[in-house]
Chain A
Amino acid sequence: MKTETYQSPDQQGYYGDFGGAYIPEMLHRNVAELKAKYLEIMHENSFQEEFQQLLKDYVGRPTPLFFAERLSKEFGASIYLKREDLCHTGAHKINNTIGQILLAIRLGKKRIIAETGAGQHGVATATVCALKGMECIVYMGEKDIERQAPNVARMRMLGAKVIPAISGSKTLKDATNEAIRDWINNPNDTHYIIGSVVGPHPYPDMVARFQSVISKEIRWQLKDKTGFELPTHVVACVGGGSNAAGAFYHFLDELSVQLVAVEAAGHGVYSGMSAATTQLGKPGILHGSKSLLMQTEDGQVVEPHSISAGLDYPGVGPLHANLFTSGRGVFLSATDEEALQAALHVSKTEGIIPALETAHAFAVLGRMNLKPTDRVVLCLSGRGDKDLATYIKELKLVD
């Protein structure tokens, strides 16, 4: 650990050994402009006023911190759910897209591009573009377009153009490649809204800051409810890692708080069909930053597998890679089947149908050796409506 805080990267965008901006010269001006201006813009009063107002009136923040009584009884600890599933569009993703669209407007950009896997970030981007009257182009893997038809329809209804990524494996990483290429070819008028804490510096830091509202609210909400500002554990699922970054953010340097990141193990970590990046990855460079990366011995990026499209990414944000290698974070994983069963269980126990991504976080509660005095906050990052087709099929819900 070279930096003194787990929260912010150094000048060059490094969290310990991970991060940086490994970009071709064609992206240099745009990324340098963003790096030079993002903090200044985010700290402007007019920006903060508009951002906070939209988070309140449009997104529906603060989202509740809900004491899950039945789960608490079952796992023998106090379990609180941070209800990001109640955000407009159904997940935490919109915290970031609201922030970035306001930033893009202040940078004088006219055109927005984004990548999406399951379509949640695409929908959140299309939503804020509609809100602000901006042109919106979303790149989505050809395979994901087939798998996630309802979100494709949502994006189109919101006025976005959805362009299939037909290169490589035709999934999220290829959609990201195509979005980056679009940015290279349109260097002047376009802002790229990355959906997770990945990409070249300053994206990981910028997205983490926009998502940090999650842990900011958790602190005062928990204090209101329990008298304690700090939980003993914060649990969140990790693909690229944006909801985890947001839920961990204001606890990163509070060393008494155990940070539990849950990755998707797919069919099993060592099955060859997994997305457990920290377990399987080695240091590598993808999409402009150095992090842990699932790859072959020859350094070719491996296509991951998870039943949840939002966790189906071969890398992980550099902030998380640093939490993993420094030992600051605890990294667990849950298989497809464990996540499905956890989703069913939480639905029946608390009356909340979680997104498949979030279900991975629930799946590890029984493995955490919790004590009655523990105060566990789990980031309920998204709602399960989008996953209904998968639930119907896998849990055999329809006769």
Chain B
Amino acid sequence: MSRLKELFARKNKRVLNVYCTAGFPELNSTISVMQALEANGANIIELGMPYSDPLADGPVIQASGNIALANGMTIKVLFEQLHDLRKTVSVPVILMGYMNPVLQYGFENFCREAAAVGVDGLILPDLPEHEYETEFGAIIKKYGLDFIFLVTPETSDERLRKLDTLSTGFLYAVSSSATTGSDKDFNAVEKYLLRLQEMNLSNPVLVGFGIKDRETFESASKYSNGAIIGTAFIKALEQSKDLALSVKQFLGDIL
């Protein structure tokens, strides 16, 4: 059973997925941030691979990616850093990034090495479902990786069913049609999450975008299996003088 399946079999409420950018704030802080996240209660870690043109991310996450790139982060360096990942980190780890760097690395090489270091799944927001079905999905499956699709309030029921069929691990519900870090009215979000809940989807649903504190985490979790925090966590690391302490305080304020 995959780590994600195992996790959701054990815990299907208030699952907390925290996003962090690989190589941020320091090139070599990737693993220590992940260890601190696990130690302080994160259930899933979404590790962002920095890209020069991250369309689906907001300015805070893009800025962290630029710092990581300036620090020297590349996919090659990342896999070196993750070589001993499973000696110290046991929660599911998902790599999030954009198609172009992955294509340049070689899509199959990328999947092979991700699986080899113990990565559990991928989020590639600019990989459309047509290309997933005709070209890339088979490679992802060959290496036993989960692939998580995004859905939005504008995604039709029919399309939702299809993306639910294609996804494994969980579905990433964007809480509003918004790039990460935007503030939107949470009532509209509740209505949307209720709709998802009533559809009885086959995948667990985690809510991303706009989750920043205990209140938004709790209300997102009310109608879903949990939530993803990204921008707020990156902001906490930006101002941090002691990474381990900052992670502890940040998660302590949420859980």
Asked if A181 and B151 make an inter-chain contact with CB atoms under 8 angstroms apart, the answer reads: no
Tell which of B63, B66, B151, B177 touches A187, judged by Cβ atoms closer than 8 Å: B177
Q: In the complex, what's the smallest C-beta–C-beta distance from A265 to chain B, in angstroms?
A: 23
Known pairs A23-B126, A25-B150; A299 contacts B155 (CB<8 A): no
Asked whether A286 lies within 8 Å of B53 as measured between CB atoms, the reply is yes
SS class of chain A's interface: helix, strand, loop or mixed? mixed
**What residues of B have a CB within 8 angstroms of the CB of A28 in the complex?**
152, 154-155, 159
Q: Are B69 and A300 in contact (CB under 8 A)?
A: yes
Contact across chains for A20 and B125 when beta carbons are under 8 A apart:
no
Given contacts A22-B131, A24-B126, A301-B52, contact A184 B178 (CB under 8 A): yes
Residue on A nearest B127 in the bound complex, by CB:
A22
Bound CA–CA A184/B209 (angstroms):
13
B56 near A293 with CB under 8 A, answer no
Bound together, the chains give a CA A157 to CA B177 distance in angstroms of 32
Among A21, A174, A184, A187, which residue has its beta carbon within 8 angstroms of that of B56? A184
The reply to whether A185 and B104 contact each other, CB–CB distance below 8 Å, is no
Name the interface size band of chain B: 35 or more
The chain B residue with its CB closest to the CB of A30 is B154
- CB pair B99–A285 under 8 Å, yes or no, is yes
Q: Which of B63, B66, B125 contacts A25 (CB 8 A)?
A: B125
Within 8 A of A (CB), among B43-85: 51-53, 55-56, 58-59, 62-63, 66, 69, 74-76
B56, A167: Cβ atoms closer than 8 Å: no
**Is B101 touching A185 in the complex (CB atoms < 8 A)?**
no
Q: Mark B139-159, 1 if CB is under 8 A from A, else 0.
A: 000000000011110110001
Q: A25-B151, A282-B104 are in contact. Are A180 and B55 (CB under 8 A)?
A: yes
Given known contacts A24-B125, A26-B56, A286-B53, A168 and B62 CB-to-CB distance under 8 angstroms? yes
Q: Closest Cβ of chain A: how far from B167's Cβ, in Å?
A: 11
Residues of chain B in range 169-199 having any CB-CB distance to chain A below 8 Å: 174, 177-179, 182
A-facing residues in B87-143 (Cβ within 8 Å): 98-105, 125-128, 130-131
Give bound CA distance, A185 to B174, whole Å: 12
Point out the residue from B66, B102, B128 that lies within 8 Å of A23, measured CB to CB. B128
> Is A12 part of the binding interface, using a Cβ–Cβ cutoff of 8 Å?
yes
Query: Are B100 and A286 interface neighbours, CB within 8 A?
Result: yes
Residue pair B56, A299 in contact (C-beta under 8 Å): no
Known: A25-B152, A185-B178. A283 touches B103 (CB 8 A): yes
Q: With a CB–CB cut-off of 8 A, which chain A residues contact B53?
A: 168, 173-174, 177, 286-287, 301
Q: B150: which A residues are within 8 A, CB to CB?
A: 24-26
Q: Of B55, B101, B149, B152, which is within 8 A of A299 by CB? A: B101
Q: Quick check: is A284 within 8 A (CB to CB) of the other chain?
A: yes
Chain B residue at smallest Cβ distance from A12 = B130
* Contact among B76, B103, B177, B178 with A285 in the assembled complex (CB-CB below 8 Å): B103
Partner of B128 from the list A20, A180, A187, A298 (CB cut-off 8 Å) is A20
B178 touches A177 (CB 8 A): no
Interface digits, A94-133 against B, CB 8 Å rule (1 contact, 0 not)? 0000000000000000000000000000000000000000
Cβ of A24: which chain B residues have Cβ within 8 Å of it? 55-56, 125-126, 150
Known contacts A22-B127, A22-B131; is-contact A167 B104 (Cβ 8 Å): no
- In the complex, whether A308 has a CB less than 8 A from a CB of chain B is no
Q: Are A181 and B177 interface neighbours, CB within 8 A?
A: no
Contact B155 A300 (CB under 8 A): no
Residues of chain A in range 255-294 having any CB-CB distance to chain B below 8 Å? 282-288, 293
Tell me whether A381 is interfacial, beta carbon within 8 Å: no
| Bound Cα distance A12, B149 (Å) | 19
Among B55, B104, B126, B155, residue most surrounded by chain A Cβ atoms (within 10 Å): B55
Instruction: Tell which of A25, A167, A174, A298 touches B101, judged by Cβ atoms closer than 8 Å.
Output: A298
Does A49 belong to the interface (CB within 8 Å)?
no
Which residues of A have CB within 8 Å of B76? 298
B100 touches A181 (CB 8 A): no
| Residues of the A chain whose Cβ atoms lie less than 8 Å from the Cβ of B69 | 300
- The answer to whether A288 touches B126 (Cβ under 8 A) is yes
Instruction: Specify which chain B residues have a CB less than 8 angstroms from the CB of A184 in the assembled complex.
Output: 55-56, 177-179
A297 at the interface (CB under 8 A from B): yes
B55 touches A29 (CB 8 A): no
Contacts of B58 in A (CB 8 A): 181
CB neighbours (8 Å) of A187 from chain B are 154, 177
Residues of A within 8 A of B (CB): 12, 20-26, 28-29, 167-168, 173-174, 177, 180-181, 184-185, 187, 282-288, 293, 295, 297-301
Across chains A and B, which 4 residue pairs bring their CB atoms closest together, nearest first? Answer: A299-B104, A299-B101, A24-B125, A24-B56
